[in-house]
């Protein structure tokens, strides 16, 4: 039976960032994700914003972790070679009352050491945000807001963690956790293993996993957020991320941008019951359009080219990051909703601290591979570079996805790095995420996936079992 020093349950941004941090030390680490690929849970629907740290109430751990995480993320982005764009954000006020709330928010932010905050006036807004509604009277400018690709962030953490020795298992669901002091015997859908410490970072199911060891102190209630994407041609609609003033439950309907350049409007914030309901709704669309138009009046329904919904794993107002005294060695990292993505590296450090406080020796490795090699995306480099790439490897000249200019070589690399599904390839390469949404490239990608992994075409899935793309292959019908 395999034995790990630390087992991490959950392969989203929290689990993988913890794995990467722990992989600095001489530890046997195992990460277990129930979906077919990493990031297929909560993380894939994240809006990708690295928050400056304003709009978090004083006194909560998430507030401090957000500001710390903002800094750490920027340093890590360089190490792990991910595109992070520091675009800054504006919290926009439309009347006097909101204007005075801005001042409060600024004060709170400064107390939390959020850098660079300043209140800007109508004149500034007219110059720097020309499409913003002229009903806006002022805004709080927070320069340290940034955007990142949330699922690529997960892959970057996990690849680097794996490079440094962590073992990562997908399609592996934890079904039982038996305390066998010191440590646990963990039963999964693919076998049993032992671990000295277990970290529960399982997102929407954190309460159910915690129940497996008898800790029932919290429950996760999903809160749905619907998001709508606009065509990349509208990329310059805004220059900063635009926020209205926050309400009790959410930061409001925003006008932001994905790190791939699509303007995005949303999210809604609706408490739900079903942890699997990722449907978008007509009401959601209407609410989002209303909110978005308040900020940018020129937005209309015809600009929308894609939409999706995510579920925030809510367990009260704050993060739950603690060692559970009644089950020594079990650490809950639960209720990580916004600003979870931002806070991820800071959460990882906090968890390391907790592990250390509870007896785990953290001895640094002699050789820790800090960096991750950036993958090549044809659409992101100048044409002259493309030319030399092609000379080195003609696979780069074989274009599979026309809308996003993704080559067969990049698709094969994504598969080599762990993609096993059509969505996995989409998240890593952008192929199928362009204007035609896979209309032209789907068949080719299916064939490459089949060639590289040996899976028959009828077994190629969108995101794992039961989501196969086609039902029958004539050439295998005899």
Partner 1 sequence: MTNRDLVVVGGGPAGMAAAVTAAENGVKDILLIERDQYLGGLLNQCVHTGFGIEYFKEVLTGPEYADRFIKKVKSIPDIKVSLRSFVVRLEGDKTLTYLKPGGLHTVRPKALIMATGCREKTREMIHIPGMRPSGVFPAGLAQKLINIEGLLPGENVVIIGSGDIGLIMARRLTLEGASVKAIIEIQPQTRGLVRNIVQCVEDFDIPVYFNHKVLKIHGKDRVEKVSVARVDGQMKEMDGTRFDIECDTVLVSVGLIPENELIEMAGVAIDKKTNSPVSEEVNATSIPGIFVCGNSFKVYDLVDSVTRDSELAGRAAAEYIRNAR
Contacting residues toward partner 1, per CB under 8 A: 276-282, 284-285, 301, 304-309, 383, 386-387, 390-391, 394, 397-399, 402, 405, 422, 435-440, 442-443, 447, 457-458, 461-475
**Shortest Cβ 36–partner 1 spacing (Å):** 10
Cis before residue 267, ω within 30 degrees of 0? Answer: yes
**Shortest Cβ 409–partner 1 spacing (Å):** 12
Whole-angstrom distance, CA of residue 210 vs CA of residue 217:
9
Identify which of residues 20 and 223 has a Cβ nearer to partner 1 in the complex: 223
Identify which of residues 74 and 435 has a Cβ nearer to partner 1 in the complex: 435
Identify which of residues 323 and 462 has a Cβ nearer to partner 1 in the complex: 462
User: Is the CB of residue 464 less than 8 Å from the CB of residue 37?
Assistant: yes
* Residue 460 φ/ψ, nearest 5 degrees: -70, 130
**Shortest Cβ 215–partner 1 spacing (Å):** 29
Question: Which is catalytic among the residues 51, 323, 369, 371?
Answer: 51
Identify which of residues 70 and 442 has a Cβ nearer to partner 1 in the complex: 442
**Shortest Cβ 247–partner 1 spacing (Å):** 24
Q: Of 268, 392, 446, 342, give the one whose Cα is nearest residue 14.
A: 342
Q: Supply angle C-alpha 476, 474, 399, rounded to 5.
A: 95
**Shortest Cβ 470–partner 1 spacing (Å):** 4
Whole-angstrom distance, CA of residue 353 vs CA of residue 346:
11
Q: Clarify whether 240 is annotated catalytic.
A: no
Identify which of residues 364 and 471 has a Cβ nearer to partner 1 in the complex: 471
DSSP E strand stretches across 353-428: 399-401, 406-407
Partners of residue 158 on adjacent β-strands: none
* Residues contacting 288, CB < 8 A, separation 6+: 226, 227, 228, 253, 265, 266, 267, 268
Q: Supply angle C-alpha 45, 51, 52, rounded to 5.
A: 180
Cis before residue 97, ω within 30 degrees of 0? Answer: no
Annotated catalytic residues are 51
């Amino acid at each position: 039976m395999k034995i790990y020093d630390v087992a991490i349950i959950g392969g989203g941004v929290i689990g993988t960032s913890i794995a990467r941090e722990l992989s600095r030390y001489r530890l046997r680490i195992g990460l277990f994700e129930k979906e077919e690929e990493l990031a297929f849970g909560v993380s894939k629907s994240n809006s990708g914003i690295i928050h400056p740290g304003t709009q978090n109430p004083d006194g909560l751990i998430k507030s401090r972790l957000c500001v710390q995480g903002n800094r750490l993320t920027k340093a890590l982005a360089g190490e792990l070679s991910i595109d992070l764009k520091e675009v800054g954000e504006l919290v926009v006020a439309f009347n006097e009352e909101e204007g005075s709330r801005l001042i409060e928010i600024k004060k709170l932010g400064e107390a939390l050491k959020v850098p660079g905050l300043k209140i800007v006036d109508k004149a500034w807004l007219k110059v720097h945000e020309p499409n913003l509604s002229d009903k806006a009277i002022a805004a709080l400018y927070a320069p340290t807001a940034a955007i990142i690709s949330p699922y690529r962030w997960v892959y970057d953490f996990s690849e680097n963690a794996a490079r440094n020795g962590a073992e990562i298992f997908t399609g592996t669901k934890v079904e039982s956790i038996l305390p066998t002091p010191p440590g646990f015997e963990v039963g999964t859908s693919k076998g049993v293993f032992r671990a000295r410490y277990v970290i529960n970072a399982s997102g929407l199911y954190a309460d159910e996993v915690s129940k497996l060891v008898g800790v029932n102190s919290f429950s996760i209630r999903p809160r749905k957020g619907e998001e709508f994407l606009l065509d990349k041609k509208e990329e310059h609609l805004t220059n900063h991320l635009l926020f209205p003033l926050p309400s009790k439950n959410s930061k409001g309907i925003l006008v932001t941008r994905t790190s791939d350049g699509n303007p995005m409007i949303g999210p809604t914030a609706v408490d739900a019951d079903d942890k699997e309901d990722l449907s978008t709704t007509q009401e959601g669309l209407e609410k989002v359009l209303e909110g978005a138009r308040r900020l940018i009046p020129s937005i209309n329904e015809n600009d929308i080219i894609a939409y999706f919904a995510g579920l925030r794993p809510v367990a009260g107002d704050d993060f739950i990051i603690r060692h559970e005294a009644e089950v020594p060695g079990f650490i809950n990292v639960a209720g990580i909703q916004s600003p979870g993505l931002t806070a991820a590296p800071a959460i990882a450090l906090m968890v390391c601290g907790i592990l250390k406080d509870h007896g785990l020796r953290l001895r640094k490795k002699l050789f820790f591979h800090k960096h991750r090699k950036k993958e090549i995306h044809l659409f992101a480099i100048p044409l002259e570079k493309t030319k030399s790439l092609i000379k080195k490897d003609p696979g780069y000249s074989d274009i599979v996805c026309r809308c996003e200019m993704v080559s067969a070589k990049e698709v094969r690399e994504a598969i080599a790095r762990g993609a096993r599904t059509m969505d996995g390839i989409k998240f890593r390469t952008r192929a199928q995420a362009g204007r035609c949404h896979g209309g032209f490239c789907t068949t080719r990608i299916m064939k490459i996936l089949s060639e590289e992994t040996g899976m028959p075409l009828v077994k190629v899935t969108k995101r794992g079992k039961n989501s196969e793309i086609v039902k029958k292959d004539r050439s295998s019908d005899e």
